[in-house]
Structure 1
Amino acid sequence: MTANHAGRPRRKWLRILLPAVLIIGWVAVSGIGGPYFGKVSEVSSNDQTTYLPTSADATQVQQRLGDFNDSEDIPAVVVVASDSELTESELTALSDAVTALPDTVPGVSDELSPLIPSEDGKAAQAFVPLDSGEGLRDTVAAVGDELRASAPDGVSVYVTGPAGFTADLVNGFSGIDGILLGVALLAVFIILIIVYRSLLLPVAVLSTSVIALTAALLLNWWLAKWGLLMLSGQTQGILFILVIGAATDYSLLYVSRYREELRLVQDRGAATMRALKGSIEPILASGGTVIAGLLCLLLSDLKSNSSLGPIAAIGIVFSMLAALTLLPAILFAFGRAAFWPKRPKFEPEVVAAEHGIHGGVWAKLAGWIKRRHRPIWIVTAVLLAVGVVGASQLDATGVPQSDLVLGTSEARDGQQALGEHFPGGSGSPVTVIAPESKLQEAADVLLGSSGIDGVTVAASDAPSGTLPVTSDGVGVPAGPPAGAPGAATAPIEPTVASGDVLLQGTLTAAADSDAAADTVRELRAELETAAPGAIVGGVTATAIDTNDASIHDRTLIIPIVLLVITLILMLLLRSILAPLLLVATTVLSFGTALGVAGWMFTHVFNFPGVDPAVPLYSFVFLVALGIDYNIFLMTRVREESLRHGTREGILRGLSITGGVITSAGMVLAATFAALSVIPILFLVQIAFIVAFGVLLDTFIVRSLLVPALSYDIGRKIWWPSKLGRGAA
């Protein structure tokens, strides 16, 4: 046996062994990571304060609360309300039910306040500290159920305040593992069935995407467990959608190339290697561009943004790896049968007769662009520019906490009932840490504000944990008269920690209202002069600092993302002009998507506003992913231009990639649209902007604007490379 013959069995075994090892390895990772879908809540947090920059006042206040109060519980505000004045017996029954909560509901602290009637007598409230652990949602629900069971007829019971709104968010995110993933996979499966008219191929592609997601989730879970990353409901949802969409897109690019090669070569192994060779550059370039854009989020002041960058980047890495290893191994194992019943035939003569331009709608579109390229790109650009005008209606200055969750909300209803009978900020006070020597000065600033209803100072020895503060000084809590049993033997002093005291001011307006935000900003300005060193925190301050950090982030990060992506495209396309045009068209598309979203959010959906982070997230996803399709197109155009000249290469590239890029765009739009099943305003708005923007990129920018503009410019599109000096 010759050396040549001896090598063939070894190569044959290697061709069988390598795909088998890849498939088994990926399936093993999936088996290990699968159970972690139900464990994300163990390492995630939806507390806004934990995502603020360490320099923010609200963060510093939150970190020091333990110095004045040993409890880490989160306060709930229980509100009972009636259309008529509550009777003495009704108040007694409700008060007894509140007092019994620590014994009847696990997770309720025994340091709760008594039931406090309103001045109009039609409502009462109590402050109930709850365990802030994983079971908060169940505890809030149990408190509400327990009190409603004891409430007299005609009396409504609500659980609101920080604990109530946090429970709302947890409820909103609870569908991520099941509903979101199910809807996204079903949408992708239906699209793939329609596009390929095959059953096995969609299963192979979706299996690749799900296994990539499992691997990404497994790694991110442990990084969060070790404290290296911070997971939240929104980052989890975005990770799921991004990996499913990106892995499917990359898979479709490989499938298209593999099918094309099966028509040119008989051997499926040779087809696999040729398909990999043709796919690896655009997939790596596309994925690398998305990763670079996502990692720019590390520059964010908000930890929710800076954590999303590496979390999502890890997802893209596994998406690329799975599309370039697992899927080729699966398709190699099945060969042409993977496309059944429309198996690609070995027909090199037919392919040669097509001259590289396939028939059908994309060949017709290429011919139309050849004849009418200048009117096409001018009209398209003008229409997109008109759409940008609507971006002025996008009010991205923040959303009240009570409007973060769509649909019904007990916490929101309770906040409304609270505002009708008590100061709107009850249960979510302004918290001020001030030097002990400036206690009275800080208190006077709070007392002098029309937005503050009352002021207290933390005092661990006081029965309620606080003492009232007036312009005359720190008051003494009501109690037995001097000399009586149980009377205090010495004046109760405020708690002092590291030379500071903690004051709380009850807001007259709801803590998430514009009026409350104005009050906090005014207090900060006045305290800077009256009590230097004082810092302001609380629910309202957290929202202010979050919004301010978000606005700073988008101003800083958006230009950097554009610069990074432009440089990557220059390296990939060996050109300066082409990348600049591609980025410009993508930015124009993004502006149009924002404009349409601004109009829809204001006049159709009647949303209360837009979170400042929505434009940043939408920009990163749309620009990075929108560039994906231009990369898929232009890398093939460059490949064809090297053989046939630029203008012919543009027509060939459009015709060859048209079907796969359109399919990929519909898949990505469908997966992002699936985010709208999670009733969180932030995610619903991102879902609309990105899904609409991806469709705009797919059907307008990549299909019409870019090819027509490139065709009009001709070979100069590749300036200053040698290709730019070749045939047009």
Structure 2
Amino acid sequence: MGAGLTQSRRRALPWLVLALWVAVLAVAAPFAGKLADVTRDGVTDYLPANANSTQVAKLQERLPGGESTELVLVYQRDGALTATDRATAERQIGQIAAEHELTDTPKGVPSEDGTTLMYPVSSNEPGADEELRNAFVDDVRETARSADGLTVEVGGPGAVIRDSKKVYDSLDGPLLYTTVAVVAVLLILIYRSPVLWLIPLIVAGIADYLSMGVAYGLNQAFGTSISGAGTAIMTILVLGAGTDYALLIVSRYREELRRIEHPYDAMKAALRGCGPAVIASSGTVAVGLLCLLAADLNSNRGMGPLGTVGVLCALIAMLSLLPAILVLVGRRVFWPLIPAFGSTPKERRSLFSAMGSSAGRRPVTVLVAGALALGALALGALNLPGDLKQEDAFVDRPESVSAMVTLADAYPDSSSQPITVMTPADRAAATLAAATSTEGVASAHVGRTGEGWTEVSVNASALPQTDAETRTIKSLRDKLDGSFVGGPSAQQIDLEKTNARDQKVVVPIVLLAVLLILIGLLRSLVAPLMLVAAVVAVWGASLGIGGLVFEPLFGFQGTDPALGLLSFVFLVALGVDYGIFLMHRMREESLGGAEPAEAALTALRTTGGVIASAGLVLAATFAVLMNMGLVSLVQLGFVIAVGVLLDTFLVRTYLVTSASVALGRKVWWPGRMAKAPEPEVLLREPERV
């Protein structure tokens, strides 16, 4: 009866898991489809929560007509504008004014050399509705067309936001398809099977769909910020981390199928063996990402929960749905390399055996050489270009940025991008007078008034996002007590300042959280410190490589202010992820009676291939971001991909193994494994981890 019950359970449980997943997806489907509706890439979705510029944006939404959409139409002809050109400009501006509600009548401002005519256009018609703002910009661009040698470009803050939105909208399809294609190719090469690669990929896709539904639920329940960059990172993590977990589980399952007859029992043994490491590693990544909640920048803070959702959905899918499908299809899924019951794999000297041997022979030499190499690479970070300006934020220059460049050349002594001051209505006159008398201010005028606040538009004499304009904005903030100073250039200042603050606050929290988790998992102090030091070194080296190639090779004129913080969080969390895989197996071998050096080399030999495969997949998925249209995403994808590869093929294989061999049992200090075992202990059954 017992055998019959076990057999019945073997058949029923996988089908029950499949049925449960069908039910879960049926519930999640309506929510997943709504995620795009709550994705926001507006100004306040990326600004610091309490910054001056954020308050300006929020107060503008409360003024009559709501938030303004500011545009600048730029008419230019090489040599000089003709009378016909000016008539064309007047006609097009008149048509725009007739079709839309503008805050005032646009007036042309000619350049001194006569080649350019600038028309500032502002409208409250779209209000805060993102779709209406986008439609307004598109309609203006449709009306303002170039003709007969006359170049017409639409720039300004509203146009920049629209062009950014176009890039984010283009991420969904290409990002998903490219990532899936990359992962598929790598899985085919890794598994060498025409069928097996499909299963982890399908399960990862299902996990991604589930994560979209959960993310929408978090937004509705807690107001979690959902941005285009955040959802892109979530997809990358689901597919990358999920495939990594699948590689570890499938590898252990294949191993167990050789010694256990029934797939159900083999999978049970596989999950018992590698499940704790998978759970621990994913939990560490999730906790590391949640530390971003301590950030003040809205975009950084919102990325934490989204990344955590992605990792946890991938974990749940790989620990339940993947095993159920593999058990149902049985051994034949591995065709043509089917692991037969009772068989032994062919013994062959692997790359990781050779690497382990070299690390084992001269551990201190390898450790010192590797540390010096990472330190030398980290020096490249000193060559990172300065903070990224708005005009350099796109890989391919869009129309809005081209318009800004044209304006900067044609109007070198004035700014085409106003600074917005929100001041209490009863102090509007005094604020206007104080702003006008501030050094660096060319002109100022009062705009709308509502709900106790008045809008003052200030034009600086310096070009946008220059040191001179920055000094003017800071002077206005110091001088106009009780008022808020915002606008695009002020927003950039606040972004840079808040990113620096977030890095000082979040980095120590991440380090402490990850260290405490590792101490609890490994029951040691030395091993966790070693792993944390290793991933910090990888982060520094990765940024250093970025510094060596960003400007000379890629032509980037600046570095995204959030790059340091985000790359740190991801590389520390994901790097420790691989460290857990290696140290877990090392601990398992030590508990089985192996000497420290033997345990370290065996762990590398048995897990090195899986960790290398997982590292390649994760690096490739983040490298997909390098095909996107925003410099910030390209830089983040590059640094993380390079960091994962360094961690996989240098730090885990050489440095951690060498350090473990050199330290011996001290690597487990102060735990009980740091002491030599009594002779009779080795005769006991190894402790299960």
Do both proteins adopt the same fold according to a TM-score greater than 0.5, normalized to the shorter chain? yes
Counterpart of 2:400 in structure 1 is 411
What percent of counterpart residues are identical?
Answer: 36
Counterpart of 2:361 in structure 1 is 371
Counterpart of 2:218 in structure 1 is 223
- Partner of 2:261, secondary structure, is coil
Mapped pair 1:127 → 2:121: yes
- Provide structure 2 residue ranges, at least 5 long, that are not aligned to the other structure: 679-689
8 Å CA contact 1:78, 1:128 repeated in 2: no
Counterpart of 1:501 in structure 2 is 454
Q: Which one of the candidate residues 281, 285, 289 is aligned to 1:286?
A: 281
Counterpart of 2:189 in structure 1 is 194
Deviations 1:572-623 (A, max 9, x none): 1111111111111111111111111111113222311112211100000001
| TM-aligned CA deviation for residue 251 of structure 1 | 0.8
Structure 1 residues 9 and 515, CA, compared in 2 at 3 Å: closer, same or farther?
Answer: farther
| Partner amino acid, structure 1, of 2:525 | I
Deviations 1:610-651 (A, max 9, x none): 122111000000011011111000000100111122221111
| TM-aligned CA deviation for residue 426 of structure 1 | 5.5
Question: RMSD of the alignment, in Å?
Answer: 2.3
Structure 1 residues 29 and 139, CA, compared in 2 at 3 Å: closer, same or farther?
Answer: farther
Mapped pair 1:525 → 2:478: yes
8 Å CA contact 1:645, 1:727 repeated in 2: no
8 Å CA contact 2:441, 2:461 repeated in 1: yes
| TM-aligned CA deviation for residue 136 of structure 1 | 4.2
Mapped pair 1:390 → 2:380: yes
Equivalences for 1:208-607 in 2 at 5 Å? 208-226=203-221, 228-347=223-342, 350=344, 359-395=349-385, 398-422=387-411, 428-436=417-425, 438-459=427-448, 495=449, 497-498=451-452, 500-527=453-480, 532-607=481-556
Q: Distance in 1 between matches of 2:578 and 2:672?
A: 24
Structure 1 residues 320 and 553, CA, compared in 2 at 3 Å: closer, same or farther?
Answer: same
| Partner amino acid, structure 2, of 1:394 | L
8 Å CA contact 2:186, 2:617 repeated in 1: yes
Mapped pair 1:109 → 2:59: no
Structure 1 residues 319 and 269, CA, compared in 2 at 3 Å: closer, same or farther?
Answer: same
| TM-aligned CA deviation for residue 525 of structure 1 | 2.1
Mapped pair 1:141 → 2:138: yes
Deviations 1:247-281 (A, max 9, x none): 01111110111011011111111101000101211
Q: Which one of the candidate residues 662, 665, 668 is aligned to 1:715?
A: 665
- Partner of 2:151, secondary structure, is strand
Counterpart of 1:487 in structure 2 is none
Counterpart of 1:637 in structure 2 is 586
8 Å CA contact 1:188, 1:671 repeated in 2: yes
8 Å CA contact 1:112, 1:126 repeated in 2: no
8 Å CA contact 2:242, 2:311 repeated in 1: yes
Q: Distance in 2 between matches of 1:625 and 1:298?
A: 18
Q: Distance in 2 between matches of 1:258 and 1:424?
A: 69
- Partner of 2:242, secondary structure, is helix
Name the count of aligned residue pairs: 672
Structure 1 residues 224 and 257, CA, compared in 2 at 3 Å: closer, same or farther?
Answer: same
Structure 1 residues 55 and 139, CA, compared in 2 at 3 Å: closer, same or farther?
Answer: closer
Deviates more, 1:8-17 or 1:75-84: 8-17
Q: Distance in 2 between matches of 1:67 and 1:346?
A: 71
Q: Distance in 1 between matches of 2:357 and 2:84?
A: 84
Q: Distance in 2 between matches of 1:73 and 1:225?
A: 27
Q: Distance in 2 between matches of 1:425 and 1:21?
A: 70
Deviates more, 1:501-510 or 1:710-719: 501-510
Deviates more, 1:112-121 or 1:254-263: 112-121
- Partner of 2:72, secondary structure, is strand
Structure 1 residues 428 and 45, CA, compared in 2 at 3 Å: closer, same or farther?
Answer: farther
| TM-aligned CA deviation for residue 137 of structure 1 | 4.1
Q: Distance in 1 between matches of 2:305 and 2:209?
A: 16
Counterpart of 1:480 in structure 2 is none
Mapped pair 1:90 → 2:85: yes
Q: Distance in 1 between matches of 2:529 and 2:669?
A: 11
Larger Rg: 1
Q: Distance in 2 between matches of 1:510 and 1:19?
A: 65
Structure 1 residues 233 and 514, CA, compared in 2 at 3 Å: closer, same or farther?
Answer: farther
Q: Which one of the candidate residues 618, 628, 633 is aligned to 1:683?
A: 633
8 Å CA contact 1:113, 1:128 repeated in 2: no
Deviations 1:130-158 (A, max 9, x none): 6342254454334223221xx54121111
8 Å CA contact 2:49, 2:298 repeated in 1: no
Q: Distance in 1 between matches of 2:363 and 2:667?
A: 15
Structure 1 residues 197 and 418, CA, compared in 2 at 3 Å: closer, same or farther?
Answer: same
Structure 1 residues 13 and 514, CA, compared in 2 at 3 Å: closer, same or farther?
Answer: farther
| Partner amino acid, structure 2, of 1:127 | V
- Provide structure 1 residue ranges, at least 5 long, that are not aligned to the other structure: 460-494
Deviates more, 1:37-46 or 1:559-568: 37-46
Structure 1 residues 218 and 91, CA, compared in 2 at 3 Å: closer, same or farther?
Answer: same
- Partner of 2:518, secondary structure, is helix
8 Å CA contact 2:207, 2:314 repeated in 1: yes
- Could you state the TM-score of these two structures normalised by the residue count of structure 1? 0.88
Counterpart of 2:39 in structure 1 is 44
| Partner amino acid, structure 2, of 1:516 | E
8 Å CA contact 1:168, 1:409 repeated in 2: yes
Counterpart of 2:685 in structure 1 is none
Structure 1 residues 688 and 726, CA, compared in 2 at 3 Å: closer, same or farther?
Answer: same
